């Protein structure tokens, strides 16, 4: 861990793409009688076949019980959609909430450790409100995390550059691959939440970065991040590009894609090269299972990094935001703001 990368709070520059909200098909009621709260919840009702579809999910309402001693009631302020959720959709019980993380605000508390107004990250899934019972909090103390001090930065960064994607980039690159100044680092999926952070951390470490993204617009963005060579993998021969830009081989390969891309990249690895197998989004919609390692137990503020967020406004857009991941609709982190 190097202090220059962990430095905070140097300014983080951002661009936030906005996707307009649609009117919810449900009433916008949030509270019933007294302290009873009605949550909106997206349940998984069918196993996706290939690319997920909107009708794989159903939007329902759920009345939550009142807070008891030690309980905390939270309201989502930003919800995450991530490629790994495609794998989780194979194992989540049907007619249960879709799995995922969110930044939430405590709106009622009978737990002195979580006062009203506190923001936290938790993994209760695609729901507007959650009752975190005293027992649940005790059993999930490593996945319920208070938000770090962020000043005026958007709270959604707690599920982006300051949350799991940022941790994945930081530890996946530095701890697993230990890049050294002067080495060549290859990053695919470089315009995504994890890949864009990897590009910048590798440059801070003094590496030459070769990056691939899925559109000319994304290529332009990754160039802004400082990558030395950036290519659109849809219009570029990957092997030819690597032969030209890395004649001495690739020392570090941070793989977010897998599949055909990796098959073409591996022959270009240098002796003693290191590979961080972070994701395989190109295969997530295949029918066989894939193992995905997700480091979500820490919240580590990574400063000095640029970020982008693609915002979907409206809780009813959760499936749309999720499905868009597999069509390359997001640049940087995709988040839903309810």
DSSP 95: T
Spatial contact of 122 and 144, defined as CB atoms under 8 Å apart: yes
Whole-number pLDDT of residue 79: 97
Whole-number pLDDT of residue 318: 97
- Phi, psi for residue 325 in degrees, rounded to 5: -60, -35
DSSP 287: S
For 164-283, CATH gives 3.40.50.720
Question: How many residues are listed for the chain in this entry?
Answer: 338
Q: How far is CA 68 from CA 37, 110, 117, 132, 323, in A?
A: 14, 7, 18, 10, 37
Residue 142: CB atoms within 10 Å? 9
- Mean pLDDT split into 10-residue runs, the chain, 338 residues: 28 50 40 68 96 96 96 97 91 96 97 96 97 95 85 87 86 94 97 92 96 95 96 96 97 94 96 87 43 28 69 96 90 92
Whole-number pLDDT of residue 135: 96
For 14-59, give the DSSP string: EEEEEEPPPPPSS----B-STT-EEEEEEEE-S---SS--GGGEEE
Q: List Cβ neighbours of 241 (8 Å cut-off, separation of 6 or more).
A: 210, 229, 231
- Phi, psi for residue 156 in degrees, rounded to 5: -60, -20
Fold topology of 37-159: Quinone Oxidoreductase; Chain A, domain 1 (3.90.180)
DSSP bridge pairs for 311: 18, 335
Whole-number pLDDT of residue 16: 55
Closest by CA to 102, choosing from 40, 44, 17, is 40
Whole-number pLDDT of residue 35: 60
Q: How far is CA 298 from CA 40, 68, 134, 172, 179, in A?
A: 28, 28, 21, 13, 22
**Domain-wise residue ranges, the chain:** 37-159, 164-283, 306-337
Q: How far is CA 277 from CA 44, 177, 252, 258, 266, in A?
A: 28, 10, 11, 8, 12
| Residue 42, both tokens | 């997206």
Closest by CA to 257, choosing from 328, 166, 163, is 328
Whole-number pLDDT of residue 313: 96
Whole-number pLDDT of residue 27: 35
- Phi, psi for residue 254 in degrees, rounded to 5: -100, 110
Whole-number pLDDT of residue 162: 82
Whole-number pLDDT of residue 282: 42
Give the DSSP H or E segment for 164.
Answer: helix 164-177
CA distance 249 to 266: 10
CA distance 75 to 119: 9
CA distance 179 to 194: 17
């Amino acid at each position: 861990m190097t202090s220059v990368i962990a430095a905070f709070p140097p300014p983080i520059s951002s661009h936030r793409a906005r996707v307009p909200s649609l009117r919810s098909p449900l009433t916008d009621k949030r509270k019933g009688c007294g302290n009873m709260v009605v949550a909106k919840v997206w349940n998984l009702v069918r196993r996706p076949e290939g690319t997920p579809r909107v009708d794989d999910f159903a939007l329902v309402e759920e009345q939550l019980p009142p807070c008891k001693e030690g309980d905390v009631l939270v309201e989502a302020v930003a919800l995450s959609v991530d490629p790994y959720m495609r794998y989780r959709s194979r194992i989540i019980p049907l007619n249960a909430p879709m799995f995922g993380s969110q930044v939430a605000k405590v709106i009622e508390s009978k737990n002195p450790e979580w006062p009203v107004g506190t923001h936290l990250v938790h993994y209760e899934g695609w729901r507007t409100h959650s009752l975190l019972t005293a027992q649940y909090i005790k059993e999930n103390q490593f996945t319920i995390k208070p938000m770090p001090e962020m000043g005026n930065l958007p709270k959604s960064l707690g599920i982006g550059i300051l949350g799991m994607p940022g941790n994945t980039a930081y530890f996946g690159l530095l701890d697993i691959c230990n890049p050294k100044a002067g080495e060549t680092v290859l990053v695919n999926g470089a315009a995504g939440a994890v890949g864009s952070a990897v590009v910048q951390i590798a440059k801070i470490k003094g590496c030459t970065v070769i990056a691939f993204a899925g559109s000319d617009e994304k290529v332009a963005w990754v160039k802004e991040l400082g990558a030395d060579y950036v290519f659109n993998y849809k219009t570029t021969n990957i092997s030819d590009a690597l032969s030209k830009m890395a004649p001495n081989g690739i020392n570090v390969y941070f793989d977010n894609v897998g599949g055909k891309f990796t098959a073409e990249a591996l022959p270009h690895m240098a002796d003693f090269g290191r590979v961080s197998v972070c994701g395989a989004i190109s295969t997530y919609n295949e029918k066989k299972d894939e193992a995905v390692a997700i480091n979500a137990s820490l919240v580590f503020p990574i400063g000095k990094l640029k970020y982008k967020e693609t915002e979907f406004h409206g809780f009813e857009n959760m499936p749309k935001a999720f499905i868009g991941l597999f069509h390359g609709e997001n640049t940087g982190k995709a988040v839903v703001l309810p």
